[in-house]
Amino acid sequence: MTTKHVAIFVFPGYGHVNPTLEFSRLLTGLGHRVSYVLDERLAAPVRAAGAEVVGYPSRRGRLGAGTVTGEDIGALGLAFLRESVEEILPRTLRAFEEDVPDLILYDLESFFTARTAARNWGRPTAQLFPYVASNEHYSLAQEVFTGAGEHLGQCIALVAEQLAMAGEDPDGVWSFMANFDERNLVLLPRELQPLGETFDERYTFTGHSLPADRPRVGSWSRPAGDGPVALITLGTEVNDRPDFFETCGAAFADGDWHVVAAVGPGNLPAGPVAGHVELHEWLEFSTVLPHVSAVVCHSGMSTILESLSFGRPLVIVTYTPEDRVNSRRVAELGLGVELPGEEVTAERLRAAVESVANDPRIRRRAARMRMDMLAAGGPARAARLIDGWLDEPFPTSGEPMKHTALPAAAQSAGVR
C-alpha cells in the first residue's frame, strides 16, 4: 500500500478536534500520514493519535455566559474567518509547499483555508460534520445564524474581497461559502439528523466518533449507597456559569441522588460541597457513564453521543441556537427532554432528571439509539472511507471545486 498524506482543518475547539482523533489514529495505523493545522493548545491529543501538527496561536474567544444569540456566533465566525485569512492560510501554504497533501478534510468553519488551499494544490476535499449536516433541504447555518445579518454580511464581503484579490469572480462567493461539499462525512447517526431522509449518497453517516477501546470505562468508584447517579456537564464553551451549578446543588440537596459534575477548568468553588456531590474540573465521561441513570448537559454533540453510546437518557440545558437544534431532535426522538437555560430552577431540573430516568420508553429509545450508532460503523468505517478516497485519482490540477450555493436566507443577509 502506498502511503498517502491527509490534511485536516478544524475549528479550534474540543468538540471539533476530538471527533476526528480516532479515525486519524486508524489512518496512521494503515500507514498514512495525517497532518492537522491547529491551535497549538489543542495539539497534544492530536500528536498522541499519531498525527503531525502545524501549530498556530489562535486568538478566538469563547461564547461566554448568558443566552447566546446568532449575532454572538456570527461575531465568533467572523473573527475566525479573519484569522483564517491573516494567519492560518499563509501558514498552511508555507508548511505544505514541499509536502502537498493528497486529500483535505475540513469542517465548515475552516472552509476558507481548506478550499483555498485545495484550489491552489489541485487536491480533492471532503467536508467533516461533527454536528448535524446541511444539504439543499436543511441548513444548520440558517438556524444558528438567525439574527446574525451584520456579521454574516461582513464574512461574505471578506470572502468576495479575497476572491477578487486572487483574480477570481467575486460572485463566486456563493458557491465558495457553500454549507457542504460533494463528499461529506457526518460523525453521528442518520437518525439524529434533521430531515435525514433527504441526505443522499454524497453523505456518509458513521454513527459516532468513539474509539472501540476505552480502557477506563466504568472505572469510577461508586460511593456507598444504592441511590441513583446523575452526571452533569456544560462542556467546554458555556461552562462559566456558577449559578447553574449552584442550582444543581440545590436540586439534589436532599442527598437522594449522587451527583457527579464536570464544571470546567478554574470553576471549582472555594468552599466545601456536600458529600453526595462530586465536582471535577475535567472528567473522562466513560469512567462514570455506566453507573448513571441520567445525564444533564448542554447539547454538544460529542457529549450527547457519548451518553447515548451507553444508552443513557438526557436532560439538555440549552443556551445557544445550536443547543436548541440538537435538543429539539433529542426530544423528537424521545431520548430526553429540553430545559431552556433561562428557565432552569432547582425544582424543574430535579423533575426533569427524575422524569427521564424513570421513563421506560425513553430508556428503551436510548438503548435503541446506542445500537443504531454501533451499526453505523463509527471511526473504523470513517477511516475505511477516507482510505478509499485516497486511492482515487486526483482531479485535474486547478479544477474548480463544486459547491452548492448558500440558502436564500443567508444570501439575503449579504451584500450581493
What is the fold, at CATH topology level, of the domain defined by 5-208+376-412? Rossmann fold (3.40.50)
Q: Rounded to an integer, what is the distance from CA 269 to the centroid of its chain?
A: 28
pLDDT of residue 405: 35
pLDDT of residue 172: 86
The DSSP result for 309-359, as a single string, is TTT--EEEEE-SHHHHHHHHHHHHTTSEEEEEGGG--HHHHHHHHHHHHH-
pLDDT of residue 226: 81
% the chain with pLDDT above 90:
69
Burial class (CB in 10 A: 0-12, 13-18, 19+), 388: exposed
Of the candidates 104, 339, 85, 355, which has an alpha carbon nearest to the alpha carbon of residue 234? Answer: 339
Least confident of 167-171, 188-192, 299-303, 380-384: 167-171
Chain segment 272-322, per-residue pLDDT in tens: 578 898 999 889 999 999 999 999 998 889 999 999 999 999 999 998 888
Question: What is the pLDDT confidence band of residue 1, given thresholds at 50, 70 and 90?
Answer: low
Chain segment 370-409, per-residue pLDDT in tens: 999 999 999 999 999 999 999 988 654 444 444 433 333 3
pLDDT of residue 148: 60
Question: What is the pLDDT confidence band of residue 64, given thresholds at 50, 70 and 90?
Answer: low
Question: What is the pLDDT confidence band of residue 414, given thresholds at 50, 70 and 90?
Answer: very low
Q: Which residues of 29-54 are buried (b: 16+ CB within 10 A; e: fewer)?
A: eeebbbbbbbbeebbeebeebbbbbb
Mean pLDDT for the stretch of residues 84-90: 96
pLDDT of residue 65: 61
Question: What is the pLDDT confidence band of residue 116, given thresholds at 50, 70 and 90?
Answer: very high
Mean pLDDT for the stretch of residues 50-74: 80
pLDDT of residue 235: 79
Question: What is the pLDDT confidence band of residue 189, given thresholds at 50, 70 and 90?
Answer: very high
pLDDT of residue 399: 46
Using CA atoms, how far residue 105 sits from 135, 259, 348, 361, 394, in Å, is 18, 39, 42, 39, 15
Burial class (CB in 10 A: 0-12, 13-18, 19+), 296: buried
**Total Cβ atoms within 10 A of residue 215:** 7
Q: pLDDT at residue 231 above 70?
A: yes
The reply to whether 5-208+376-412 and 229-375 are identical in fold is: yes
pLDDT of residue 350: 97
Q: What is the mean pLDDT of the chain?
A: 89
Using CA atoms, how far residue 261 sits from 45, 81, 234, in Å, is 23, 34, 9
Q: pLDDT at residue 339 above 70?
A: yes
Please tell me which residue, 63 or 321, carries the higher pLDDT value. 321
Superfamily for domain range 229-375:
Glycogen Phosphorylase B; (3.40.50.2000)
Least confident of 39-53, 105-119, 210-224: 210-224
Q: pLDDT at residue 69 above 60?
A: yes
- Helical H segments across 145-205, by residue range: 149-165, 173-176
Please tell me which residue, 362 or 244, carries the higher pLDDT value. 362
pLDDT of residue 400: 41
pLDDT of residue 406: 36
> Residue ranges per domain, the chain?
5-208+376-412, 229-375
Longest dimension (CA), the chain: 70
pLDDT of residue 143: 84
Mean pLDDT for the stretch of residues 187-215: 96
